[in-house]
Amino acid sequence: MTDAHPVETDDAPNSDNPYSQGIRTGDTLYVSGYGPVDPATGEAVDGDIRDQTDRVLDNVAAVVDEAGGDGLDDVVKVTVYLTDLEDYEHVNEAYGARFGEDPPARVCVEVSRLPEDVRVEMDAIAVC
């Protein structure tokens, strides 16, 4: 990883685990997976799955901004992890409101469990 540089910001949750919030190599930024955790409190946000999706996307946007990008506008690929596909439609509502008419490529999978027992997590790739 000769051209890879970590990206760190206080505007997204920090972790004691051995990974970077993001890694930038050239114009490509790889954003680690984020759940609906408020970086100010370190706790998952209250609210429904739409509120949680908004917090996740705020966390992703913060890492992109820190890397010199333009938030979600620079995201080209997202992976969505849900613990219950029954949430899929509500996540799509919140997600679609944030990305608009030209959303990035996306994968959505159901998983058995996520850290902190949150219901949604996303990672992303951005070009900035």
Chain-centre distance for alpha carbon 114: 14
How many H helices and E strands in the chain?
Answer: 2, 6
Task: Indicate the DSSP class of residue 109.
Answer: E
79 vs 125: CA distance, rounded Å? 9
Q: Decide if 108 is catalytic.
A: yes
Annotated catalytic residue within 45, 71, 108, 125: 108
* Strand pairing class (22-25; 75-82): unpaired
For the chain, the distance separating the N- and C-terminal CA atoms, rounded to the nearest angstrom, is 19
Tokens in use for 56? 């996740």
Both tokens assigned to 43: 């706790």
Catalytic residues: 108
